[in-house]
A and B are shown apart, each in its own frame.
Chain A
Amino acid sequence: MSERILEVGNLTVDIPVGNGMLHAVQGVSFHVDKGETLCIVGESGCGKSLTSLAIMDLLPSKAIRNANTLELDGEDILNVPERRMSDIRGNTMGMIFQEPMTSLNPAFTIGNQMVEILKRHRNVSNAEARDRAIYLLEKVGITAAASRLSQYPHQLSGGLRQRVMIAMTLMCGPDLIIADEPTTALDVTIQAQILLLLAELQREFEMGLILITHDLGVVARIADRVAVMYAGEVVEEGTANQVFNRPTHPYTQGLLECIPIPGKTERGKPLGSIPGIVPSLVGRFEACHFADRCPFAMDSCTDGNIALRPANEAGHAYRCLLSPEQCAANAKTKGVA
């Protein structure tokens, strides 16, 4: 068995709002092994970003985080003092954010910001830190790396800034990288480059990678395992092969139906869409979160919460009352299996 890097068990994030409690993340569990890429997919507001911020302990101060397990390299990082947590952040666990345009400090050079993180966590000289920064800038495909160190963020394009962010996150050689929609703000042509770069670096440095995205095409290319989130819950989890070829949860099936596949999707056929809107997560509700948008909803779907249960194959789980066989049949009729 491969080395376990991150273990998340029953993570919840609650945010107090004006008229109650917003249950943004509910009972999310997953794990990441060494050298493994876990993709978390789901639409905006499903709790993907909050999940990643909860792991980093960077949630907004009013958010309330709870979990049964939260371990990094076997160390509990749920109940550690902030001082210890800050030793971990940027060191064994790094994060790349959605907005490369604003994620670097405009007042300091690239070099300053890259050297700073290594010097915070390692006892190295300035020259050594600069050398590592140059090495990593070259690794992420930045030309004239040495001269970039004296440049300021505003002198670089969005794509370059995101490469700098990636290089900066790699400075301390982290075991785990969390990339929260790292390409959303970039041009489409740059998006693929950045993602392939991430995948490549992840393999080379044998890191665990959590990639949060809503781009299923990307997921299919680089994910080892996939967790599909909907309205604060993981509704399906499995290997990329399982989730893409044998989608079981009606929501996953609906998502895949929305994507045209060259050579497979009929010409002129309208693309699928999921009717309805995401339910409000304010206040508890004891039902399948997807019930009111689900084409297969039954009366029993609203009788209490539904547990994640194993599908037919090992490592594949889903959160639905229908049996795996019924789900497979549904997938066939929808043309997504």
Chain B
Amino acid sequence: MTTHTATTPNATLEAPSKRRLPQEFSILLVLLGIAAFFEVLGWFLVGQSFLGNMSRLQIIILQVSVIGIIAVGVTQVIITGGIDLSSGSVVAMSAMVAATFAQDANWPKIIHPALVDLPWFVPLTVGLAVGAAAGFINGWLITKTRIPPFIATLGMMVSARGIARWYTDGSPVSGFTESFAMLGNGMGRWAPVVIFLVVAAVFHIVMRYTRFGKFTYAIGANPQAARVSGINIESHLIKVYMIAGLLAGLAAMVAIARIKTAQAGMGLMYELDAIAAAVIGGVSLSGGRGRITGTVIGALILGVMLSGFTFLRVDAYYQDIIKGAIIVVAVVVDMHRQNKRSKKT
């Protein structure tokens, strides 16, 4: 029962309607705070500027791009109230399969001699298709067998990694065509960043302004109400998981084009980084709440921290410990905020 309903019919809520700043604002402040923290420590401990180094900033955002592309897909899955644990393995699987379509004829170690010197969009399409197929299977399992997303995507996580190893008997694939490598190094090496930002912008618009986005939020907010509102939950969920798989495939293409090699062990734990980015960015694991912009900032926070610790020469062990703590703190803060919201009513 609310406490602020007036009796007279023409009255409005008595509580003043404060124009609340979007949650993303506070996350942005956290990002700036962390950057400032490293800047100050940098002057004291290392004697140089953290932010005043263009190549460092470029490396941060390049590293963030691959995780960020995955996180845009994972965010949508989480908004439906689900989870995708398979993205890291799907990256490896897409990478291995697509890489065999991307080799240059002059490379000494050719996997498929018939598939050399293909135009760049062939391996790209293959990579996206493999990712989307994995996503389709995830979505199909979740909607048709009704097993929890955690289990379905856990299964995919293990199997996709297996496929990635089996596909080339574990041997890495290198020697990509010049045109394919542009995906990772084109536009003055900014290609991954551009792809990431385009993907984020597109899905930001999709989530906020299209029917598809509205339905995604609706399913996460209340699946039963969504069904009664005429939403086909099964087909919608399959689409959302397919998008997540497709974006994992795209991230794989960007990653192998940039590092010029694909191996079955790549993408390890990427799914957790992507989930962490979303959660730090304010996406609620219970579904129905969260924005792409938050996830983008969340990914940047992870990237800045990683780079900052390296810059301060913090031992890698400590880095992981601190990263883990930050993820937990982010969720605690988020829960606290939600509690405060529901206490109001």
Do A and B associate with each other? no
| B residues at A contact (CB < 8 Å) | none
| A residues at B contact (CB < 8 Å) | none
